[in-house]
Each structure stands twice: as C-alpha cells, then as structure tokens.
Structure 1
Amino acid sequence: MRGACVVGALIFLAVSAANGALAAERTVQYILVNRMPGNPWDQNRPESITKDGFLEVKQALPQAPGSTVKVGIGFIFSYLNSTSDEVLLASLKRFLALAEETDTPVFVQLDGDNWWGARPDLWNWWDPSRPGYNPANRMNVEWTGWSPDDAIKIAWRNWGRQIRVLPPPNLMSPRYRGACRQKLRLLVPVVVRWWRRLPADKRYLLAGVKVGHESSIGVNAWYYPHGNDLLDRPTEQDPTAGVDVDQVPSRGVAQIGYAAVSTAGIRMSGAITEADLAEVVRRHLVEQSRAAAQCGLPREKLFTHCGGWKSDELLYDAALNRYSCPGWSFYRHADDPRKDAGVVKALARSNAPTWGAVEWLYQGPREVGPWRRALADTLSYRGCRLVCIYNWEGIRDSPAVLEAIRQVVAQSVVRR
C-alpha cells in the first residue's frame, strides 16, 4: 500500500509539474527579431544558418532570469521558393536544433504567398522556353478580368524599392492550394515533433508558427495597366507610381483578383468589391491554418499574418479563424495598437487565446524611451503574445533600440 501511495504521489507531482510548466509557458511573451532572408541566412543553403547568428542576438539581448518577456529569433521559410524539399527540411531542422542548443525562442514563419520562383510548373503559362511551361497555368495566376485570357505575366513589389516579381498566385487555384498544403504537411510536423520532445520547462522555445505573409491581393504584388507589355522591356521603362493603399479594392493600379474571386465562386461578372477580396483572403488563411492545426499544432502556437493598410478595411477580419490566433503588420501604428481601428475591431470579435504583432517596426525616433513605450504598449494590449521586429539587420547597430528591448525584458522579471 505504501509503495502504491509513493507511486501515486510521484505521478501527481509529475502531472502537477507538467501542468505548471504549461501554465508558465502560456504567460510567456516574446520580443522576436526577424533575421532577413539571404542576409546571410538562406533557406536554400542550410549551412548559412549558423550558431553564430543565434549568439549574435543573444549577446546583444541576453535573457534575464525570471523574465516573462523572452527575446527570440524569427525566420521566414518561403516553401514554394526552395530548391528541394530535402534542402528546405535541412534548413528548418538546423534552425530548430540551434534554437534548442542556444536556448533561443524561435518564430517559424511559413510563406507561400510572396515568393514562388521554384514552382514554374504552377506559374509559367506564357514562355515555352522556360521550365514548367503549360498554358493551363493561367488558372494558377491572377487576372485583370473575368477570363483566363486576362492572365498576367508580371507584377511589382515595393519592400523598400520597387522590383519586378512573378505574377501573384490565384489564392483559390486548386493546384496552388494543393502545393501549399503539401508543404505545410511536410514542415509543420517537424516543428511539432521538435516542440513536443522538448523538456516541459523548455517548451517556451517555440514562440509560434505563422502561416500567410501579409496575405492580400494587389498590394505586395500589384499590376500596372498593360503590365504584360512591359515584360520584355527594360525596367527603366516601368511606371513608378506604386500603389495607393487607401483606394480599395484596386489600390490605385489595375484591378486584379478576378481569378481568385471567380474560382471561389464568389462572383463571375461585374465589379469586384472590397468584400470579395477579403473573403478570398479569409478562405486562404482558414485553409492554411487548418492544414497546420491538423498536424498537431495547438491554436495558441499558430498565428496568421493578414494584410491591412487602409484604416478599418475589411481585410483585417480575414486574420480571424477557429484554428489560429490573428496576426497583423504594424508600422504606422507600431507605437500603439489601440490606434489601429481595424485591429481593435477584429480583436473585439476574436475568440482566440492571444494575438501577435507578427511584423512590427516602430517608425519614431531611435531613442530608448519611445521604443520602450511602443514595445510595452503593444505587448500589454489585449493579451498580445508576441512582437516580431522587422528586421534584426536594421536594428542591431542601434544602441538605443537594443537598450529599449533590454529594459522591457528587465521590467518583466518576476520577483520571488
């Protein structure tokens, strides 16, 4: 009897410890710094993801014992832009192994929205001299009208400067969606297995997994009128006006989204509306979130990344679904999320356990006080779990920014 009591007591203590570790994990918040892809970390060169890259962050932003705000690293894996599944898996596994080795929380960002150069079998509908050519691929890219004859060959993006990019995917294309699901089912189980085998007191090392990447239509890959005619001309002849994000749904350039809206069965003719495009993005993020959740990722560890530029536009709500926690980008309102009407309204509707500022960069002066307040105000709003600063390479040489982060971490120390 005494032996049974001892065994029972040990089981009780073990369960209590596990529950305590889980409860403690749920109180952790994160300030993450995104490492810019290709500078030097490259998902197509696993060896470029180095321990020194982790230690650089840890030495500048050391963990404070007893803090509830942890500093970590984010990295984007653009799974449709990888040379092979073997290489992509090697990079992800290396990233996770180094996180564990260096005790660094990580944010795994899985992007199938923006870079898909390794899948010409999906997008090349126009050039028989290049790999993947198939005229039927018109169905996998966006259109400027209601017919596949309106398929586009080129688009533009500005993340600091305007560049040409491939035509954006038709987010509702069955083949594109299948490709995304296949990659998520390849990658997410690797993260889940790694997380589950961590000791209970180390489970916090997974800050989260993100699906989508500023998911939207016509903003991060827009189309100028008659853009296909520019494909074979010098880039110097490209228009440079860019988008006007306040002009929804066209964003001030040629309207796209017809492929996704019609494929989804939302509308087959007439004028596209803001609501049409938001519904496409919502369905896209639901599917991505569901695929990740079905791999065993709990809701509190899974985040979406939705676009949202015009104040209170409908797109903000597309971040919400029952499988994940919502996430948005913060630039203009990085100082205080309460100023972002779209976020405020979406969070009022959300039943998720938390949310994330999954892409964030304060636009004010590089001074300790303003940065500290901006970070603290974001983390303190409505149960925010994480802030991911874009990018490490842009702040690592700023003593004031680094000191602000250290102060926010220090202020979270729980005194015993």
Structure 2
Amino acid sequence: MKNNTHHKTIRSFVTIFVIFSSLLLFSAQQTHATPIDPQYIFVRKDGSSCNPSDCSQFWSFNNPDKINQAAIDDVLNKIGTRGNNNNTRKIGIGVLIHYNRHNLNNILASIDKLLPLATENQIPLFIVLDGFQYLNKAPELWNWWDQDQPGYDLKNRSNVEWTCSNGSSCATKTAWRNWASEISLAFPHPNLASPTFIQANKNKLNTMLPKISSWYQSLPQDKKWLLGGISLGLEVNIGGNYYHYSNGINPNAPNPGPGNSQSDQLGYAAIQFLGLEGGITSANLDKVVQNYYTELNKYAYQLGIPRQKIFDHVNSPGFTLPNHIITTPESSLSPYGNPAWSFYNGDAANPQQFDTLHTIFQQQGYIEWGAAEWRAPNTTYSSWYQAFQNNFNFGNTRFINISNWERIRSEPEILKAIKTIANEEPTCWVTKPQINITTDKKSVSFKINPGNNNQKTRLHISSSSEYRENGLLQNIDIVNVPLNPNSTYSKPNLSDGQYYWNIVTTGCTNQRRITAGTFKIASQSLPGDLNGDGSVNIFDYNILVAGFGTKYDIFDYNNLITNYGQ
C-alpha cells in the first residue's frame, strides 16, 4: 500500500513536471516577445447621432445592442488599412462614454460587449470616460433649488460653480455650451474641487475601470497596444465652453445667446474649496483642473491602468475668451496623466504654431501627448495629409483622435489621407526595449534588448509609487543608472517590500519613452516560495526541479503544488 502511494505520487509529479515545463516554454516566449508600441490614428464614434440613411454602424453606450461588429467593419473597410507592416502606426476607434448622462447598467453592459470586440478584431481603443460635461443622471450632485425634483439637497450648492465668492447667493442652476450651435443645459457647471463630486465620479469609475483593467491585464504582452489610451474627462476646463449667463437667463431668448464672451466668470467655488490664494487667476484655475485629473487618474492607476496609458484632455491651446480668465494648456499637466488637447480648424492644421506647447514639451522632457479631439478644416487630400504630418512630427505625439467618424466616413479625400499616413513609417519613432526582469531573494536583475532609435536608456527604481508631471517617478531613491544594451544590471541587498521601476528611453532628438512596472522583495514566509519573492510560481518550480532529491523532497513539492499561484 505504501509503495503504491509512492508510485502514484511520482506519477503525479511527472505529470505536473510535463505541464509546468510547457508553461515554462510559453512563459519564455512571452518574455521575449517584441513590444508593439505604435502611434495611433483613432476615429471617434459619435455616440449620439448617425446618418439617417445608414445607422447600421451606429454605437450607443446607452444601448448595449448597438455595440456590434458593423461599426468596426465600417471603419476598416472605408479606410482600407489597419496600419503599416512594422506596427509603428495603427488605426483605432475612439469611444466617448458620458457616464453621468446615461443609465449606468446600460453603459456597463456596453463595455462588456466592446472589449471582446476589440480583442477579436485586433482594433485598438481610445476610451473617454467623462463625468464632467453631462450630468443628466446625477441630480443628487446639483439640484439645490427644486424640492419637487429628484436629488434635491440644499448642500448641493457646494457641488456647483459660483459666480461670486459667496455660494449662498450666487450658486448656479443652469449652463450653456456652444458645440457648433448653442445648447442650453438643465444642470449647472460642477465644482471640480468638491470632494462630493469627485467621490461620486470615483464611485462610478469603480464600476467601469476594473472591467477595462481586467481586460488589459489579460492581454498578452504583445497585445497590450490594444488599449491605446484612456481619458477620464472631455475638455475639462473652467471658464471656457461651459458657461453661465447672468441670473441664469439667456439675454437673447428664445434665440441663441451672445455666447461665452458675454457670460459670467466661473471658478469661485473650486478655488475656494482648494484654498488657493490670489482669487481668480489662470494659474489657480489650472490647479483646479490638475487636481481633478490627479484625483481620478491616481484612482485609475491604483485600479491597474498604467500611467503611460492615461491622458488629460483639456481645451484647445488656441482657445481664448476676451474679458474672461480661463484655464491654459498647462491645465493638462498632472502626475498620473499625459497631456492631451482639442484641436480644431487652423489649430488642428498645425499645432506647431503654439509657443506654449513648445515650452511644455521642453520643460517636461518631451512627454508623450495626444490630440484627444481633432478635426482640421481641409477639403483636399494634400491639405489633410499635410495636417497629419504637422501633428505626428511635433514632439512625442502618441495619437490623433479624429472627431467624428460619422462626419468623415463619406469624405474620400480624408479617408485617402488617413490610409496614406497610417501606412507610412514615422519620420523617427522610439519604441520600447524588450525587458527581462528576475528577482532572487534580496536582489533584482534587469536586462534589455533595445527597441528602435533607443539612443540612451536609464533605470529608475523607487520605494514609492508617486509620479511627477513629466511621467517619471517622483522619488528615485533606490536606483538611477544607465542601462547598456544586452547586458544585465543587478541590484543586491534589497529590503523586503514593494518596488516601482521606470525604464526611460530617449531618442529621435525629442522623444522619451517610459516603461513602468513593479516587483516585490519578500522573505520566504509562504510554503513553496523557494526564491523568496513573495509568491509561488514557475520560478519556484524551476528551483524545485533543479534541487529535487538533494535539497528538496516530496514535502517541498506538495507545498509548492498547494500554494502555486499565490
């Protein structure tokens, strides 16, 4: 009986050995997969309208049944390419989800349909989750005046913007915006610094972001590019194109009003809530938007969205408003997101005209940036093509998000230009290196194989996860060294704990690419954790096999099997 039990155990061990050996081979292949790290041309789907003659390709995130294959086929067939052969440019789809505008359950079901479609079709996504522009489904955040309507609470005066420094006398009740034509809104501009407003947005994001994060984490390393980016706001600003007329009355009613140039100054509530000194200034308004994005971005980062995938979408750098104090392009800078702006008309034709952007890129070390909402006034193929060139060859451009697909899908000149630019190679593009990381008890080792145009590479390791506006770790207290191609750098004698790393690669004169990750150093406290890294996995199995019969026995094997995956 004893011998039979022993033989069964050995047979089980051999079976596990074969299975784990195959896993080991698979793991090695994934480790050495070439990173795909492209520029993107996204076409944004209009979530509210379509051409009445053909709505088969319409997507609505308020109706999960509308998220279907037809829209993807429509984009790919009309453009005629997915991108170039070297995977340095990709065609993708932008989606805009106003989660305070529609039924949240419908939105969640729509996301559940969208993500598998992206995987099946190998189509990258730029996802905007916006809780700023539309608040129809959140009266509990702004109804402070009507007891007969849902959400009433006098305390909601703290969640909306004011036109003076005394919220009890000048809290707003409504707002307007002009997107091609003036729109009257049944809700006021939110107070972006209100803890209640911020937390309410986090609560809703907590239902959506884990779905996106789980999908992203499940993608193999050579498919991570399917998440092209994410923004947690749409043109977030104060004092721009989200305005309020005195006394809440359009002076030209029932006709369109004079517009934001004759609207009230906003921002008093947010500046007061943040305790900023100096009153209404552009610098203070920028801090409000930066704080709002930092709150939401850090939350997304903690839920598993990489910092390098997060973008802060604000107004066009060319937007001005006489007699008003408004936010500036610097409002797009935050520790947990890359800058992104809207570009329309002449701004889109050539963003290089803005000295402010040149200054930002130089000061921030040529951080990645995006044109989060883009449409030039062009009509010819050559003018569209030149506009794309002007955008993609300006600093470290990660993407252009064309607004909207429904407006351009029947315009042959821009479709031809999109196909041409997508099939071309960037003039110069830095791609991420291949990275191998191993931990062994109290040490960690990094080895890189360079990507394209990797002129200089540095390794930063920190004991803190905090970031700076330029995308680098804030406190580089463990390691800050150059990495040489195809050589190994090892850091011994590390204390137990969680560590955060950046591999920073520069090239092409004005591009910087940051790859980020974490590793853990832990004393062996988990049975089966033979290398002391705090988990039981394939690396512990390799150690067991190498030392089985001498250093390790069947009891160690049983511990490893019991705790494998922990």
Task: Mark yes or no: TM-score above 0.5.
Answer: yes
Verify the 8 A CA contact 1:305 1:329 in the aligned structure 2.
Answer: yes
Matches for 1:370-385 after TM superposition, within 5 Å: 370-385=383-398
Instruction: Answer 1 or 2: which has greater helix percent.
Output: 1
Query: Is residue 192 from structure 1 mapped to residue 213 from structure 2 by the alignment?
Result: yes
Query: Is residue 103 from structure 1 mapped to residue 116 from structure 2 by the alignment?
Result: no
Match of 1:43 in 2: 61
Match of 2:183 in 1: 163
Distance in 1, matches of 2:113 and 2:355, equals 39
Query: Is residue 284 from structure 1 mapped to residue 284 from structure 2 by the alignment?
Result: no
Match of 1:150 in 2: 170
Matches for 1:299-378 after TM superposition, within 5 Å: 299-310=307-318, 315-331=328-344, 332-351=346-365, 353-363=367-377, 365-378=378-391
Query: Is residue 87 from structure 1 mapped to residue 106 from structure 2 by the alignment?
Result: yes
Verify the 8 A CA contact 2:318 2:347 in the aligned structure 1.
Answer: no
Verify the 8 A CA contact 2:33 2:221 in the aligned structure 1.
Answer: no
Shifted more, 312-321 versus 383-392: the winner is 312-321
Match of 1:397 in 2: 410
Distance in 2, matches of 1:63 and 1:402, equals 13
Verify the 8 A CA contact 1:311 1:342 in the aligned structure 2.
Answer: no
User: Secondary structure of the equivalent of 2:260?
Assistant: coil
Distance in 2, matches of 1:351 and 1:126, equals 48
Match of 1:72 in 2: 92
Rate the CA distance shift 1:118–1:399 in 2: closer, same or farther, 3 A. same
Identity among equivalent pairs (%): 33
- Equivalent of residue 257 in structure 1, options 261, 264, 267: 267
Verify the 8 A CA contact 1:83 1:118 in the aligned structure 2.
Answer: yes
Distance in 1, matches of 2:266 and 2:60, equals 31
Rate the CA distance shift 1:317–1:142 in 2: closer, same or farther, 3 A. same
Cα RMSD (Å): 2.5
TM-score between both structures, scaled by the size of structure 2: 0.65
Distance in 2, matches of 1:271 and 1:264, equals 11
- Equivalent of residue 241 in structure 2, options 197, 213, 220: 220
Residue 371 of structure 1 and its aligned partner are, at CA, apart by 0.9
Distance in 2, matches of 1:409 and 1:43, equals 28
**Larger gyration radius, structure 1 or structure 2:** 2
Q: Which is bigger in relative contact order (C-alpha 8 A, separation at least 6)?
A: 1
Match of 1:237 in 2: 254
Residue 136 of structure 1 and its aligned partner are, at CA, apart by 1.2
Verify the 8 A CA contact 2:174 2:188 in the aligned structure 1.
Answer: yes
Query: Is residue 172 from structure 1 mapped to residue 188 from structure 2 by the alignment?
Result: no
TM-score between both structures, scaled by the size of structure 1: 0.87
Distance in 1, matches of 2:100 and 2:407, equals 26
Match of 1:204 in 2: 225
Kindly provide the amino acid, as one letter, of the partner of residue 128 in structure 1.
Q
Residue 111 of structure 1 and its aligned partner are, at CA, apart by 0.5
Kindly provide the amino acid, as one letter, of the partner of residue 384 in structure 2.
W
Kindly provide the amino acid, as one letter, of the partner of residue 289 in structure 1.
N
Residues 116-165 of structure 1: per-residue CA shift (max 9 Å, x gap): 11000111111122111111111111111111221111111111100111
Match of 1:248 in 2: none
Residues 191-213 of structure 1: per-residue CA shift (max 9 Å, x gap): 11111212333221111111221
Distance in 1, matches of 2:158 and 2:255, equals 26
**How many aligned positions are there?**
391
Kindly provide the amino acid, as one letter, of the partner of residue 99 in structure 1.
A
